[in-house]
Amino acid sequence: MKEIRELLIHPGRDLKLSSFDPDNTFGKSREDLDSELPKLRSIMSDLQYKLYVENEKSLLIVLQGMDASGKDGIIRHVISAFNPVSCRVESFKVPTSEELAHDFLWRVHKVVARKGSVAVFNRSHYEDVVEARVQNFVPKSICFQRLDQIKQFEKMLTENRVKILKLFLHISKQEQKKRLLDRLSDPDKRWKVNEEDYKKRKKWAQYMTAYTNAIINCSIREAPWYVIPANNKWFRNWVVSKIITNALVEMKIKYPKSAQHYKHIKI
């Protein structure tokens, strides 16, 4: 679809996140997309089952974005279409002492989707080139070295039949403020807000620069980035579902030949 192609960051494409409108819905109405979402979820579920039975390929979905950009919302409203038997969500927190004793990709590689399954990263290895850069945890030269290592890592995964979808959930600074205030006013969501969220808001421009740099450098042919307009949750859910559905179709998943052979057996 034209809309999805416009969200795709091809290798070498110039990128300015400020030029992407986080309110953009491409003129689509909420009513139409809300009615289409259950159909997309059904297709996703069917294709996931086929992926599980085939047991030859896997799908890795990377979710990145500022705090309150909707990563958890995507997992609740989109990823929940998948059967948890062959779908796992991984969240990357502050590295443990064991993880720090290895290269930064060690903890990532061991939880990549196994054959026949889907893995979803709620934040990912890109924290090590975004958060690390903005907070000055490592020198800028190390961040650029890591970007190159990420490209090689993702190329290796795709060569081993791992389909990678990288989705940057793009919201405005004003929308983030609104969502944080909404959380504070809701006793059931207040726990999700902490002082660190507001400290990071003061470095919004630095985060946008770091994300821009990561997306430009790591949007490779085998695993390009998508920039998702995420101010409108209903559009965000629909377009992410559409991208995932398209990716599963493009994987050309087939049932095993043995299953085709046995269908002729009479019982």
Query: For residue range 65-77, what is the model confidence (pLDDT) as tens digits?
Result: 999 999 999 999 9
* Predicted local confidence at residue 262, as pLDDT: 60
Cα–chain center distance at 115: 19
Cα–chain center distance at 48: 17
- What's the chain's average pLDDT? 94
What burial letters (b/e) apply to 132-146, b meaning 16+ CB within 10 Å? bbbeeeeeeeebeeb
Tokens 């504070």 -> residue? 184
Count of alpha carbons within 13 Å of 171, Cβ hemisphere only? 24
Examine the pLDDT at 198 and tell me if it is beyond 90: no
Between 188 and 38, name the one with better pLDDT. Answer: 38
Provide the 10 A C-beta neighbour count for residue 184.
12
9: helix, coil or strand? strand
**Tokens, residue 171:** 């919201």
Examine the pLDDT at 42 and tell me if it is beyond 90: yes
Q: At 205, which helix (H) or strand (E)?
A: helix 204-218
Examine the pLDDT at 105 and tell me if it is beyond 70: yes
Whole-number Cα distances in Å, 88 to 117, 155, 157:
8, 22, 17
Domains observed in the chain:
2-254 (3.40.50.300)
Rounded to whole angstroms, the Cα distance separating 225 from 10 reads 8
Please give the average per-residue pLDDT across 213-237, as a whole number.
96
**Tokens, residue 78:** 């989109």
pLDDT band at 186 (very low <50, low <70, confident <90, very high): confident
Contact, 87 vs 117, CB < 8 A? yes
pLDDT tens figures, 11-25 = 988 888 988 999 999
* Predicted local confidence at residue 258, as pLDDT: 67
Single-letter residue type at 125:
H
* Predicted local confidence at residue 267, as pLDDT: 66
* Predicted local confidence at residue 259, as pLDDT: 57
Whole-number Cα distances in Å, 1 to 214, 224, 241:
25, 16, 13
Please give the average per-residue pLDDT across 245-267, as a whole number.
80
**Tokens, residue 163:** 């389909």
Examine the pLDDT at 36 and tell me if it is beyond 90: yes
* Predicted local confidence at residue 192, as pLDDT: 84
* Predicted local confidence at residue 121, as pLDDT: 98
pTM over cut 0.85:
yes
Helices 233-250 and 30-54, interaxial angle, to 10°?
A: 30
pLDDT tens figures, 149-184 = 999 999 999 999 999 999 999 999 999 999 999 999
Examine the pLDDT at 260 and tell me if it is beyond 70: no
